[in-house]
Amino acid sequence: MDNARTCYRSHSCGELRMEHVGQTVTLAGFLENFREVGASLGFAVLRDFYGTTQVVAETEEMVKAIKALNKESTLQVTGVVRERDSKNPKLPTGDIEVVPQTIEVLGRCRHNELPFPINRSREADESARLKYRYLDLRNPEVKDNIVLRCNVVAALRQAMTAHGFMEITTPILTASSPEGARDYLVPSRKHPGKFYALPQAPQQFKQLLMASGFDKYFQIAPCFRDEDARGDRSPGEFYQLDMEMAFADQEDVFAVLEDVLPPIFAKYGKYDTASSAPFKRIPYLEAMETYGSDKPDLRIDLTAQDATEALGSCGFGPFEGNTVKAVKVTGFSATRKQIDKLCADVEVQSGGKVYWFRYDENGEIVGGIAKFVQPIKEAVVAALGLEKGSFVGLTASNKKLTAQKTAGVLIKMLAPLCPDHFHRETYEFCWIVDFPMYEIGEESGELEFCHNPFSMPNGGLDILKKAAAGQVDPLSITAYQYDLVCNGVELSSGAVRNHDPEIMIEAFQLVRLGEDDVKAKFPAMYNAFTYGAPPHAGIAPGVDRMVMLLSGEDSIREVIPFPMNKNAQDLMMGAPSFVTQQQLDELNIVCTKKEED
């Protein structure tokens, strides 16, 4: 039986071809358009999930019947397939049309005006698109992203199963735990004053599965984080390819994803080539120094150089006593107006200023801060390895990381203006490795975990004890933590896990959490590890981000069936919403503040 065939249709609207001419068929779909040519002639377009078919009304009665219907009504059409006189080579069904014998209205559209034209819904205001998402999804371009998502998820499942991983679902209602973002809390009716939390990730559960004796786990896991939206991050919920391996290390995790992902990206992506194994590995400190980012886009061949020694004492105020980074590029023939706009755009995105000069074809330093560079031209040209015709963008800050990050934004924004340095049509993967175990918190000003608190430090227990004794700077400790990056987008963070309770306690003591705190905050995992846990490692690439890259979309909302807006609101369903006083009373909750309508 044909996959499209049901009790309402014999064929889909994208199926009919010349070999069907003369057959009586039944179609069902949405009335996309009707063009009346005369009292007894009109052309309708019927659309379903699979495509469109032209339906030709050739009687006055049939024309009146279709004309009386609003667009997007759902119809069942039974008629004869015939060859079209005026064929449309752009459509798969463009050689044929259907002459209806009967038309039945299955679902009448009761609105004379639609919120937006279906086939141009992407041009509509985003609020309207999200409020009427069920209409937006009728647009084939929007629908295709969801179909792509379905195909990618199916391919991921198939590949992971083929690698011996078992798909195991983990709980949605769990305990709150400090994992870097705000929890979504769910009040308990049976336990007044207590709350469940929706999981930010199945982190503890998948590690507990390893402690339970399962060897390879995965799931397409829903994760919930109360955080603000970005272009590559949806508020509320997201999905990831969550995986964990027992008796495994970093190399084992890398080998799996380097085998699983490239074929899927090459098959389903906008570009048909992807990095082959092994992916390039870049230590975190090197990535920041060279690319100004821990999410480098390796399609761009521009890098940042340290220019502190060459330019730090040139007399230009913003460079004095600060770290100076330089990004040099050939083939960038922009006007002064374009350069000013570039510098302004970088400042808006990074918060740091960009300075510049040119080393022109005549071997002269011109433009920007040229008057400070000209006196030391030869030293600067030698130090930066400049070729004639080079443009040099410069960043500076008393904080090395700030200068690096501004240089990273400059590289990203220069790339589209320099096609010779931006090899766009491919998927370039890399691993960022050796992340710092600890950092100084921006808000607390104290030592905090940098990435995942459950990661194994390089050096194990010994390095942690030395840090506790003041013999090693905790900020110098790196961990077996790694990020998977593709085309400048972080797809995932992962780590070799800390499976030893003694090492776990020592790691948490450095951030002012003692043994009792560890036992209280992570009781299941701590206790499980005291019964002997295998070394294990894992990672969790984001499904939404993967599909966003594959589809070539700039916003993650374009690949999510029912996304929230930037303010974490579901405009279609009206969530979040107020609840009744009875519901609050049952949950022992008192609202002290309510959002104004």
| Spatial CA neighbour of 367 closest among 354, 376, 358 | 358
Same domain, 367 and 402: yes
CA 56 vs. chain centroid, Å, equals: 44
- What percent of the chain has pLDDT above 70? 99
Same domain, 452 and 523: yes
- Under the banding of pLDDT at 50, 70 and 90, the label for residue 179 is low
Tell me: the pLDDT tens digits for 389-402? 999 999 999 999 99
- The rounded distance, in Å, linking the Cα atoms of 383 and 71 is 67
- Under the banding of pLDDT at 50, 70 and 90, the label for residue 1 is very low
User: Residues 211-232: what's their mean pLDDT?
Assistant: 90
Same domain, 344 and 380: yes
How large is the C-alpha radius of gyration of the chain? Answer: 30
Tell me: the pLDDT tens digits for 41-96? 999 999 999 999 999 999 999 999 999 999 999 999 999 999 999 999 999 999 99
Residue 37 lies in a domain: yes
- The rounded distance, in Å, linking the Cα atoms of 126 and 183 is 27
Q: Answer yes or no: are the C-beta atoms of 98 and 81 closer than 8 Å.
A: yes
Please report which residue ranges of 351-376 form alpha helices under DSSP H: 370-373
Residue 270 lies in a domain: no
Q: Answer yes or no: are the C-beta atoms of 497 and 455 closer than 8 Å.
A: yes
pLDDT recorded at residue 451: 77
For strands 429-433 and 438-440, give the pairing.
unpaired
Q: Tell me how far apart the terminal alpha carbons of the chain are, to the nearest angstrom.
A: 52
| Spatial CA neighbour of 494 closest among 536, 533, 552, 466 | 536
DSSP conformation class of 120: G
Beta bridge partners of 223: 238
Taken in order 487, 489, 494, 495, the sign of the CA dihedral is positive
pLDDT recorded at residue 161: 98
- The rounded distance, in Å, linking the Cα atoms of 311 and 52 is 64
Residue 281 lies in a domain: no
| Spatial CA neighbour of 53 closest among 103, 4, 106, 91 | 91
Same domain, 307 and 409: yes
Same domain, 334 and 412: yes
Q: Give the structural domain span for 404.
A: 300-419
pLDDT recorded at residue 333: 83
Beta bridge partners of 357: 392
Single-letter residue type at 455? S
Q: Answer yes or no: are the C-beta atoms of 381 and 370 closer than 8 Å.
A: no
- The rounded distance, in Å, linking the Cα atoms of 32 and 114 is 12
pLDDT recorded at residue 180: 64
Q: Is the pLDDT of residue 597 over 60?
A: no
Residue 28 class from Cβ within 10 Å (0-12 exposed, 13-18 middle, 19+ buried)?
A: buried
Tally of residues, the chain: 597
* Tokens (6 digits) for 526: 């701590």
* Average pLDDT value for the chain: 94
- The rounded distance, in Å, linking the Cα atoms of 554 and 545 is 10
Same domain, 88 and 45: yes
Same domain, 30 and 103: yes
Tokens 């979504």 belong to 184
Same domain, 304 and 411: yes
Residue 285 lies in a domain: no
Tell me: the pLDDT tens digits for 261-315? 999 999 999 999 999 999 999 999 999 999 999 999 999 999 999 999 999 999 9
Q: Answer yes or no: are the C-beta atoms of 246 and 532 closer than 8 Å.
A: no
Residue 193 class from Cβ within 10 Å (0-12 exposed, 13-18 middle, 19+ buried)?
A: exposed
Q: What is the CATH number of the domain that holds 97?
A: 2.40.50.140
Tell me: the pLDDT tens digits for 341-365? 999 999 999 999 999 999 999 999 9
Q: Which CA distances in Å does 399 have to 147, 295, 477?
A: 46, 20, 20
Tell me: the pLDDT tens digits for 448-467? 998 778 899 999 999 999 99
For strands 166-167 and 216-225, give the pairing.
parallel
Tell me: the pLDDT tens digits for 503-547? 999 999 999 999 998 888 889 989 999 999 999 999 999 999 999
Beta bridge partners of 32: none
Residue 450 lies in a domain: yes
* Tokens (6 digits) for 188: 């308990």
- The per-type count for the chain, helices as H runs and strands as E runs, is 18, 22
Same domain, 99 and 22: yes
| Spatial CA neighbour of 20 closest among 81, 95, 92, 97 | 81
- The rounded distance, in Å, linking the Cα atoms of 29 and 72 is 9
Single-letter residue type at 176? S
Torsion angle, alpha carbons of 355, 358, 364, 370, to 10? -10
Single-letter residue type at 80? V
Same domain, 313 and 411: yes
CA atoms within 13 A of residue 20's CA, in its CB half-sphere: 23
Q: Answer yes or no: are the C-beta atoms of 312 and 321 closer than 8 Å.
A: yes
Residue 596 class from Cβ within 10 Å (0-12 exposed, 13-18 middle, 19+ buried)?
A: exposed
Q: Which CA distances in Å does 220 have to 169, 216, 238?
A: 8, 14, 10
Taken in order 279, 274, 492, 247, the sign of the CA dihedral is negative
Q: What is the CATH number of the domain that holds 360?
A: 3.30.1360.30
Listed residues 49, 76, 107: the one ending a domain? 107
Contacts of 382 (CB under 8 A, 6+ apart): none
User: Residues 355-384: what's their mean pLDDT?
Assistant: 94
Q: Answer yes or no: are the C-beta atoms of 558 and 145 closer than 8 Å.
A: yes
Same domain, 369 and 445: no
Residue 384 lies in a domain: yes
| Total count of domains within the chain | 3
User: Residues 86-114: what's their mean pLDDT?
Assistant: 96
Same domain, 321 and 389: yes
- The rounded distance, in Å, linking the Cα atoms of 516 and 223 is 28
Residue 207 lies in a domain: no
- Under the banding of pLDDT at 50, 70 and 90, the label for residue 594 is confident
143-147, 412-416, 439-443, 551-555: segment of lowest average pLDDT: 439-443
pLDDT recorded at residue 176: 86
* Tokens (6 digits) for 496: 């070799």
For residue 81, which phi and psi values (nearest 5 degrees)?
A: -80, 135
Residue 261 lies in a domain: no
CA 55 vs. chain centroid, Å, equals: 41
